[in-house]
Homo-oligomer: A and B are copies of this chain.
Amino acid sequence: MPFATRLDNVETSAIRELFKLLGRPGIISFAGGFPDSALFDVQGIRDAVNTALTEEPGAALQYGATEGHAPLREQIASFMAAKGVREVAASDLIVTTGSQQALDLLGKTLISPGDKVIVEGPTFLATIQCFRLYGAELITVPVDGDGTQTDALEQLIAEHQPKFVYLIPTFGNPSGALMSLERRRAVLEMAVKHHMLIVEDDPYGDLYFGEAPPPSLLALSAQVPGSRELLVHCGSLSKVLSPGLRVGWMVGPAELLAKATMCKQFSDAHTSTFAQATAAQYLKAGRMPATLARVRQVYAERATAMGEALRRELGDAIEFVQPQGGLFIWARLTGARGQLQDGGELARRAIDKGVAFVPGAPFYARHPDPATLRLSFATVGLDKIEEGVGRLAQAL
């Protein structure tokens, strides 16, 4: 069967092959990108859906506006306002079927075949594939412990004139990095100076362990005149409440939202109103602060435990920045004392020892660093974290 030429640009990920092995009995998995199901506020969601079906059964079960269920758009605007985002009204955002769909709509709306897009190296794997399906040529900007290297970013913008720049400034998947306040400001100023559209993907920003991170680019844009009109912000309930609802959102310039809404009409008509009405009732019920406090605490303990175990068990064989939030430790094999320095090879050996993680190379759109690893602490209890890291040390 002859498929569309755009499929020539992507391939089924090598990671999927790895995931097939995770079902083996006894495997401790640091490979997932999921939040922990055990932390879901099932009772809160049950109350929310029952309220929705009592108060607004028609709206919750009928076709809805492509832009999103109006009460949910209001609740999301309030949710963001509570995090310091000013002057974003319900009408300044559209609801998306998870933030994955926001990426898809950006690709559909903005990327013509051959257009360049700058992404972080490493970045979210599904972003790479999503944009490539629309024919994007991806350029990578390096990331360090303070996030995207903004000097390098400005050079790449000047050199490549990309269609837009895609960043995950806060606890990104896979890097876990936290972009500093200075660099955030630099990105917004750069956007204005070069008239460059910036996409901020922010599914993890609420999952901080100690102090709150610096304001999102969206929140900060109020301080950088002209930057709001060049900024797209993607949010999601997936990592903090439930991925199964598939409720995300996108804030952006009105003209872009209008085009994205048109594209969404022909993608899935609208996001499930059943899920949207449930999410709206959940937010309205005021349960989110307690839910966030709980997940932050649990993930913080697991992150600390994994960091300590890695330092203790793997010593100078590995280097990483201890994450201040999110779901991941991003690490690099140093090759010290002639030890293994290939993440893919370690992943294969680790499976045999009964522990899984994802090698880092596939997260690079270009110039992969084969020494990197992504380890998720999110779904593994403290005991199993210790045991899993011990197995990892044996696999080295």
Q: Is A4 an interface position by the 8 A CB rule?
A: yes
Task: Check A244/B274 contact, CB under 8 A, given A1-B197, A37-B61, A104-B266.
Answer: yes
Q: Is A372 an interface position by the 8 A CB rule?
A: no
Total interface residues on A, CB under 8 Å, equals 72
From B10, B109, B269, contact of A3 by CB (8 A): B109
Q: Is A271 an interface position by the 8 A CB rule?
A: yes
Q: Are A266 and B61 in contact (CB under 8 A)?
A: no
A197 CB, nearest partner CB in chain B, Å? 7
Q: Which residues from 1 to 36 on chain A have a C-beta closer than 8 Å to any C-beta of chain B?
A: 1-7, 10, 12, 34-35
Q: Are A126 and B269 in contact (CB under 8 A)?
A: yes
Q: Are A42 and B62 in contact (CB under 8 A)?
A: no
Q: Which residues of B contact A150 (CB under 8 A)?
A: none
Q: Is A129 an interface position by the 8 A CB rule?
A: yes
Q: Is A123 an interface position by the 8 A CB rule?
A: no
Q: Which residues from 36 to 59 on chain A have a C-beta closer than 8 Å to any C-beta of chain B?
A: 37-38, 40, 42, 45-46, 49-50, 53, 57-59
The interface residues of chain A, by DSSP majority, are classed as helix
Q: Which residues from 316 to 350 on chain A have a C-beta closer than 8 Å to any C-beta of chain B?
A: none
Q: Which residues of B contact A265 (CB under 8 A)?
A: 126, 129
Q: Are B50 and A46 in contact (CB under 8 A)?
A: yes
Q: Are A1 and B253 in contact (CB under 8 A)?
A: yes
What is the bound-complex CA distance between A103 and B253, given in angstroms? Answer: 28
Instruction: Bits for A268-307, please: 1 = Cβ < 8 Å to B, else 0.
Output: 1111111101100000000000000000000000000000
What is the bound-complex CA distance between A224 and B93, given in angstroms? Answer: 50
Instruction: Bits for A182-217, please: 1 = Cβ < 8 Å to B, else 0.
Output: 000000000000000100000000000000000000
Q: Which of A94-102, A140-148, A360-368 contacts B (4 or more CB under 8 A)?
A: A94-102
Task: Check A244/B272 contact, CB under 8 A, given A34-B62, A57-B42.
Answer: yes
Nearest chain-B residue to A132 (Cβ)?
B266
Q: Which residues of B contact A268 (CB under 8 A)?
A: 97-98, 100-101, 104, 246, 268
What is the bound-complex CA distance between A2 and B246, given in angstroms? Answer: 29
Q: Which residues of B contact A263 (CB under 8 A)?
A: 7, 133
Nearest chain-B residue to A32 (Cβ)?
B63
Number of copies: 2
Q: Are B126 and A61 in contact (CB under 8 A)?
A: no
Q: Are A61 and B34 in contact (CB under 8 A)?
A: no
Q: Which of A77-85, A254-262, A351-359, A388-396 contacts B (4 or more CB under 8 A)?
A: A254-262
Nearest chain-B residue to A46 (Cβ)?
B53
Q: Are B273 and A244 in contact (CB under 8 A)?
A: yes
Q: Is A243 an interface position by the 8 A CB rule?
A: yes
Q: Are A1 and B53 in contact (CB under 8 A)?
A: no
A42 CB, nearest partner CB in chain B, Å? 4
What is the bound-complex CA distance between A43 and B6, given in angstroms? Answer: 45
Q: Is A385 an interface position by the 8 A CB rule?
A: no
A2, A244, A255, most chain B CB atoms within 10 A: A244
A57, A64, A245, most chain B CB atoms within 10 A: A57
A43 CB, nearest partner CB in chain B, Å? 9
Binding site for B on A (CB under 8 A): 1-7, 10, 12, 34-35, 37-38, 40, 42, 45-46, 49-50, 53, 57-64, 97-98, 100-101, 103-104, 108-112, 115, 126, 129-130, 133-134, 163, 197, 238, 242-246, 253, 255-256, 259, 262-263, 265-275, 277-278
